[in-house]
């Protein structure tokens, strides 16, 4: 790769690496970036990433907001001369890297960069489905017809097929679900549009790229496929960089576990029926088989225990004894469907993924009901009409060691929130990383000047019946002091609604509530509405960026301990205890400290931001473990007096 444009021709001191020269004053970055300022944390991180890639090492970096961590890992990756996969926590960050940061670096380097991005197949349109939909009655309702017309016109001009390009398409468009490129209905190389297929084109771009930008879900989907089928979604690589690496444990757990739901059975039945009409292999016998599958699945999922929410499935043996006939009938219905699909004469290629789905779903249900593998926690979640039966690895460390860390040459994990009380022992143990180099890259922000941490020490304990009323009154005082301009973040939906009902009528500022609209729409409305207040829960704790005065206060109801009765959390607590550890100090406190840092991280996004971080949980000052939280947070100014908050906002 060529050197960045504008580099000095005279040789630099030998101790300066290519990365150091890039970031130093008067280097390539300073000559291109309109507001360049040297950031010691960014340089330190970039140099460590360079060493990790060159020396085939594992590296963990906590890089606080304002460090410039994106460029600190992108530049060394580009200069490394090797294929690097960059995995992000969200598709939004993935798009930011590709559409904002990469074009900027192309201007710096003065040449096109071999970078591509890949998303899951559901994000891309299937050309063949679009063409089929023009001639067959697959659409229903005026909304679907209108959405389809938008999609059809866009398909004629798009180069990527990525639905993110269609800004006018509703997030929950049912028309999109009928024409996306999910593999469940893909004919593969037998498809007439294979050469023009957006998935084919995506894989071609990836095979030619030096840097491949994915998200955690796609990365671990690929890792799971490689483990089970010796197949792959991503091209081969020998280095990976994880941004928002604090999410790895939960995402890996999803893809190395098992899941079956009534929705997945319904989708299989619907897809087989639709494909049988489209490809003309339907019959009365197939209709009877599909009807039988639907009826037995309805009985099976209705009989599963549990109320709304998530709960452990400890009674699997009793369930099997009590409902053995329904269970065996369900397995038999899957077998019958698979056998029928296998025996269809002159079967179209699309039958293969349908056949595979029937077998995989049957195998998942059998594992979920019969398995005695103690490495998994078995649980049930009910959400409205949905019933989800799941098995999640209790400890993903061993899986990651075997299938990732031992197989990839170099790995970098970074996030603004990885260290607990300045150390990385928690993330290392949870992710199975051994012997990794670590770095806390200092933020350029002056937190002691820019932010005030207020703890409402006088409030009752969060478990007290008096807490909701007292916390509501405290929030009203804080919002009046900040003149709105605040996120009020909660650890539970129920408490959010209770306090919202009390506070929203006690202030004069516009108030938004999570759940009343799409997440991005609420965020956009918050940005555009002066003095607005947003009540929200976990999905607004991270990945949300509102710089400037519009967000001047972040209020958090209580220390964000994971619910101990959650089946996965409970299983991990028991596993640590049985291994001789202390689950509260080894798992629950570190996890909560990282989550609290994420919530508070919404406030200070630039050097000019100022604001108050308010915690309505006195345990942080009254309990000995509270010091772990203080030691994990930046060095904010601190107070327990409301008058100091009022003075801060009066400046």
- What pLDDT is attached to residue 345? 85
Q: How many CB atoms lie within 10 A of CB 358?
A: 25
Tens digit of pLDDT for each residue in 347-357? 888 788 899 99
* Integer Cα distance of 522 and 604 in angstroms: 20
- What pLDDT is attached to residue 582? 97
**How much of the chain exceeds pLDDT 90, in percent?**
74
Residue 194 has pLDDT above 60, yes or no: yes
Task: Enter the tokens of residue 371.
Answer: 């398995």
Q: Can you point out the beta strands (E) in 55-180?
A: 58-63, 84-88, 115-117
- What pLDDT is attached to residue 229? 65
Do 601 and 246 form a contact (C-beta atoms < 8 A)? no
For the domain made up of 258-393, give the CATH fold.
Answer: Fumarase C; Chain B, domain 1 (1.10.275)
- What pLDDT is attached to residue 191? 84
Residue 6 has pLDDT above 50, yes or no: no
- What pLDDT is attached to residue 7? 35
- What pLDDT is attached to residue 15? 57
Tens digit of pLDDT for each residue in 426-467? 999 999 998 999 999 989 999 999 999 999 999 999 999 999
Do 415 and 90 form a contact (C-beta atoms < 8 A)? no
- What pLDDT is attached to residue 37? 82
For the domain made up of 1-114+209-255+396-444, give the CATH fold.
Answer: Rossmann fold (3.40.50)
What is the average per-residue pLDDT within 312-340?
96
Q: Can you point out the beta strands (E) in 353-401?
A: 376-383, 386-393
- What pLDDT is attached to residue 560? 95
The crossing angle, in degrees rounded to 10, of helices 102-109 and 69-79 is: 50
- What pLDDT is attached to residue 141? 82
* Integer Cα distance of 268 and 529 in angstroms: 44
Residue 269 C-beta-side C-alpha neighbours within 13 Å: 20
Tens digit of pLDDT for each residue in 61-88? 999 888 999 999 999 999 999 999 999 9
* Integer Cα distance of 373 and 570 in angstroms: 17
- What pLDDT is attached to residue 9? 38
* Integer Cα distance of 236 and 232 in angstroms: 8
At 254, the pLDDT band (50, 70, 90 cuts) reads very high
Q: Which residue has the higher pLDDT, 139 or 263?
A: 263
What is the average per-residue pLDDT within 328-355?
91
Do 214 and 117 form a contact (C-beta atoms < 8 A)? yes
- What pLDDT is attached to residue 10? 42
- Could you please report the per-residue DSSP string of 560-612? -PPPTTSHHHHHHHHHHHHTT--HIIIIIHHHHHHHHHHHHTTT--STT--EE
Do 249 and 430 form a contact (C-beta atoms < 8 A)? yes
Q: Is there a shared CATH topology between the 258-393 domain and the 447-650 domain?
A: no
Distance of CA 524 to the CA centre of its chain: 20
Task: Enter the tokens of residue 338.
Answer: 């698979």
- What pLDDT is attached to residue 136? 74
For the ranges 242-251, 544-553, 584-593, the lowest mean pLDDT is seen at: 544-553
- What pLDDT is attached to residue 16? 65
Tens digit of pLDDT for each residue in 116-133? 999 999 999 999 989 988
Do 557 and 495 form a contact (C-beta atoms < 8 A)? yes
Residue 338 has pLDDT above 90, yes or no: yes
- Could you please report the per-residue DSSP string of 252-310? HHHHTSEEEEHHHHHHHHHHHHHHHHHTT---HHHHHHHHHHHHHHHHHHHHS---SEE
Task: Enter the tokens of residue 329.
Answer: 């009938």
The single residue listed with the structure tokens 């071999």 is: 114
What is the average per-residue pLDDT within 287-302?
96
- What pLDDT is attached to residue 612? 97
Give whichever of 273-277, 540-544, 637-641 has the largest mean pLDDT: 637-641
Q: Which residues pair with 453 in a beta bridge?
A: 613, 638
Q: How many CB atoms lie within 10 A of CB 14?
A: 6
- What number of residues does the chain have? 651
Task: Enter the tokens of residue 244.
Answer: 């928002």
At 2, the pLDDT band (50, 70, 90 cuts) reads very low
* Integer Cα distance of 292 and 294 in angstroms: 5
- What pLDDT is attached to residue 189? 81
* Integer Cα distance of 567 and 150 in angstroms: 43
Rg (CA), the chain: 27
What is the average per-residue pLDDT within 243-253?
95
Q: Which residues pair with 410 in a beta bridge?
A: 239
- What pLDDT is attached to residue 315? 93
Task: Enter the tokens of residue 48.
Answer: 């460590």
Q: Can you point out the beta strands (E) in 134-244?
A: 211-215, 239-243
What is the average per-residue pLDDT within 547-560?
94
Residue 493 has pLDDT above 70, yes or no: yes
Domain boundaries, the chain: 1-114+209-255+396-444, 118-206, 258-393, 447-650
Q: How many CB atoms lie within 10 A of CB 13?
A: 7
Please determine, looking at this structure, whether the domain spanning 447-650 carries the CATH number 3.20.10.10: no
Do 534 and 514 form a contact (C-beta atoms < 8 A)? yes
Residue 486 has pLDDT above 70, yes or no: yes
Closest to 69 (Cα-Cα) out of 439, 610, 424 = 439
**How much of the chain exceeds pLDDT 70, in percent?**
97
Q: Which residues pair with 310 in a beta bridge?
A: 381
Residue 639 has pLDDT above 70, yes or no: yes
Tens digit of pLDDT for each residue in 359-409? 999 999 999 999 999 999 999 999 999 999 999 999 999 999 999 999 999
- What pLDDT is attached to residue 3? 37
Tens digit of pLDDT for each residue in 31-46? 887 777 888 999 999 9
- What pLDDT is attached to residue 278? 77
- What pLDDT is attached to residue 4? 37
Do 236 and 83 form a contact (C-beta atoms < 8 A)? yes
pTM of the model: 0.88
**Residue 198, burial from CB neighbour count under 10 angstroms (0-12, 13-18, 19+):** buried
* Integer Cα distance of 305 and 381 in angstroms: 10
């Amino acid at each position: 790769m060529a050197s960045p444009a504008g580099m000095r021709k005279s040789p630099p001191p030998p101790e300066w690496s290519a990365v150091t020269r890039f970031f130093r004053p008067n280097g390539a970055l300073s000559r291109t970036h309109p507001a360049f300022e040297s950031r010691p944390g960014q340089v330190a991180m970039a140099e460590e990433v360079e060493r990790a890639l060159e020396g085939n090492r594992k590296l963990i970096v906590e890089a606080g907001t304002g460090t410039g961590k994106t460029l600190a890992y992108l530049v060394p990756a580009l200069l490394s001369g090797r294929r690097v996969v960059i995995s992000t926590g969200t598709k939004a960050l993935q798009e930011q890297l590709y559409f904002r940061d990469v074009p900027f670096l192309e201007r710096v380097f003065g040449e096109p960069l071999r970078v591509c991005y890949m998303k899951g197949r559901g994000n891309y349109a299937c050309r063949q489905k679009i063409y089929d939909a023009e001639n067959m009655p697959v659409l229903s309702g005026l909304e679907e017809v209108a959405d389809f017309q938008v999609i059809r016109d866009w398909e004629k001009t798009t180069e990527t097929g990525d639905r993110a390009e269609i800004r006018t398409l509703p997030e929950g468009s049912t028309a999109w679900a009928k024409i996306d490129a999910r593999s469940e209905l893909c004919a593969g190389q037998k498809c007439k549009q294979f050469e023009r297929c957006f998935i084919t084109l995506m894989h071609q771009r990836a095979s030619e790229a030096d840097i491949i930008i994915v998200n955690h879900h796609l990365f671990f989907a690929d890792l799971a496929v490689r483990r089970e089928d010796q197949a792959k979604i991503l091209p081969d690589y020998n280095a990976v960089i994880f941004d928002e690496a604090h999410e790895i444990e939960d995402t890996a757990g999803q893809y190395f576990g098992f899941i079956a739901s009534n929705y997945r059975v319904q989708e299989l039945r619907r897809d087989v029926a639709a494909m049988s009409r489209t490809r003309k292999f339907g019959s009365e016998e197939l209709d009877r088989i599909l009807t039988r599958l639907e009826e037995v699945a309805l009985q099976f999922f209705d009989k599963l225990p549990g109320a709304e929410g998530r709960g452990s499935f400890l009674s699997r043996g009793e369930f099997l004894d009590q409902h053995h006939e329904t269970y065996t009938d369900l397995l038999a219905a899957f077998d019958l469907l698979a056998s029928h699909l296998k025996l269809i004469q002159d079967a179209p290629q699309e039958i293969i993924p349908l056949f595979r789905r029937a077998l995989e779903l049957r195998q998942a249900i059998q594992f979920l009901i019969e398995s005695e593998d103690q490495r998994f926690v078995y649980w049930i979640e009910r959400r409205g009409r949905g019933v989800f039966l799941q098995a999640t690895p209790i400890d993903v460390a061993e899986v990651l060691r075997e299938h990732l860390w031992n197989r990839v040459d170099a790995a970098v994990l970074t996030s603004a929130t990885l260290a607990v009380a300045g150390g990385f022992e928690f993330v290392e143990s949870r992710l199975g990383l051994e012997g990794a180099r670590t770095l806390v890259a200092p933020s350029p922000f002056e937190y002691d000047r820019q932010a005030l941490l207020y703890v409402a020490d006088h409030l009752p304990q969060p478990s007290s019946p008096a807490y909701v009323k007292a916390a509501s009154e405290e929030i009203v005082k804080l919002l009046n002091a900040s003149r709105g301009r605040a996120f009020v973040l909660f650890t539970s939906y129920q408490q959010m609604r209770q306090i919202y009902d009390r506070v929203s009528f006690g202030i004069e500022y516009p108030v938004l509530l999570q759940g009343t609209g799409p997440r991005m729409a609420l965020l956009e409305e918050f940005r555009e509405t002066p003095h607005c207040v947003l009540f929200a829960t976990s999905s607004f704790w991270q990945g949300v960026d509102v710089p400037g005065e519009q967000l001047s206060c972040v209020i958090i109801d209580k220390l964000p301990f994971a619910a101990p009765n959650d089946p996965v959390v409970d299983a991990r607590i028991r596993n640590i205890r049985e291994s001789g550890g202390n689950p509260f100090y080894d798992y629950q406190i570190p996890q909560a400290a990282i989550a609290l840092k994420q919530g508070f991280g919404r406030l200070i996004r630039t050097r000019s931001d100022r604001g108050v971080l308010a915690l309505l949980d006195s345990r942080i000052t009254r309990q000995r473990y509270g010091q772990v939280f203080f030691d994990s947070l930046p060095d904010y100014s601190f107070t327990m007096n409301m008058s100091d908050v009022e003075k801060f906002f009066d400046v």
